[in-house]
Amino acid sequence: MILAVVSKTAMLFLILIIGVIARLCGVIDAASTKKPSALLVNVTQPLLIIDSFQMPYSGEKVIFGLKVLLASAILHCSVALISYGVFKVEKRMEQKKVWEFALIFGNCAFLGYPVLEAVFANPGGENPGIFYGAFYTLIFNVFIWTYGVALLQRGRPDSRESNNWRKIFLNIGVIACVIGFLFFLLKINLPPIIGDAVTMVGNMTFPLSMLIIGSLVATFDFKQIFKNGKLYYYTFMKLLAWPLLVTAICSFLPFDSHLLLLCVVMASVPAASNCAIFAELYDGDSILSAQCVGLTTLLSMGTIPLNLWIAQNIFGI
């Protein structure tokens, strides 16, 4: 499994480098990344999620999916409490909000999904990695539009503004999960032509997301990143301390190893790619949030396999 994860992350890293080169060569610019980003969020990722539910119905899968929902809720609540305590000493509110937000919310779809595919790889059989990942991201979407928004509104005059429930429950990611899950429960299989088209477009998600992230990484001022000592501290907490804490706790739990490994994977992913977008919307430090995303994404190519190796070989998960 570790070899499969290393192979997958190495492939994603190479695609990221291609995105960096394309941006530096002028093939991709700031304007040209906006529409592919919209395509990614609104078309390819939803189809990827729907496609992941196209598998034979099994009560065991439903039960496992519900366990993933519960695990996701526990992980998000736990890291929210930890992030509040870890960055409590930060005096600048616009940066404090970013540190907390970027520690809580990881790139569980664009990087978590391909790693889960490697973890749940079953040569010659179905791969439920993205299927289970979709359950995890349901909680992610609800949490980011409730606690995440409330966190970033902290200190604003409109901080008591009610949550936009339409965005919480009717965003494209949640809708895709509901549609896919209904197809799964009702045993609805897409016709081969439609199913193949959905699969092909959905599979564009991983390379497209890494090309976009690579193009953003190419714009970073790494001199400023390397001068920011707090960024190193945050990166350590995000990529090593938090995943290892989750791994240590999981090693004492009498649950299925696949569920425990899923928790380790989702705890190990870098900062969510939409951290900068949310920071911009709610007066956080958008430059700092972009640096969090860029640095953790680059380093996670090595730390994700490392964390999984530790989980298997030291903690025996």
**Among 191, 98, 192, CA closest to 152:** 98
pLDDT at 309: 95
82 is a domain residue: yes
Q: At what angle do helices 205-217 and 112-119 cross, to 10 degrees?
A: 130
pLDDT at 158: 56
Coil/strand/helix, residue 106: strand
* Helix-then-strand count for the chain, H and E: 18, 0
pLDDT at 58: 87
42 is a domain residue: no
78 is a domain residue: yes
Contact between 72 and 198 (Cβ < 8 Å):
no
User: Which residue stretches of the chain have pLDDT < 50?
Assistant: 162
Containing domain of residue 246, as a range?
A: 55-186+219-312
Contact between 163 and 150 (Cβ < 8 Å):
yes
34 is a domain residue: no
25 is a domain residue: no
- Residue 88 identity: K
pLDDT at 124: 62
Whole-number Å distance between alpha carbons of 1 and 11: 15
Longest CA span, the chain: 57
User: Which contiguous run of DSSP H or E holds residue 61?
Assistant: helix 59-86
Cα 42 to chain centroid, rounded:
16
| 123 exposure class (CB count in 10 Å sphere: 0-12, 13-18, 19+) | exposed
Q: What are the structure tokens assigned to 257, written together?
A: 């190893």
∠ CA 116-119-121, rounded to 5° = 100
157 is a domain residue: yes
∠ CA 193-194-200, rounded to 5° = 90
pLDDT at 254: 84
191 is a domain residue: no
- Domains: count for the chain: 1
Handedness of CA 253, 258, 264, 266 (dihedral sign): negative
Residue 54: CA count within 13 A, CB half-sphere: 17
197 is a domain residue: no
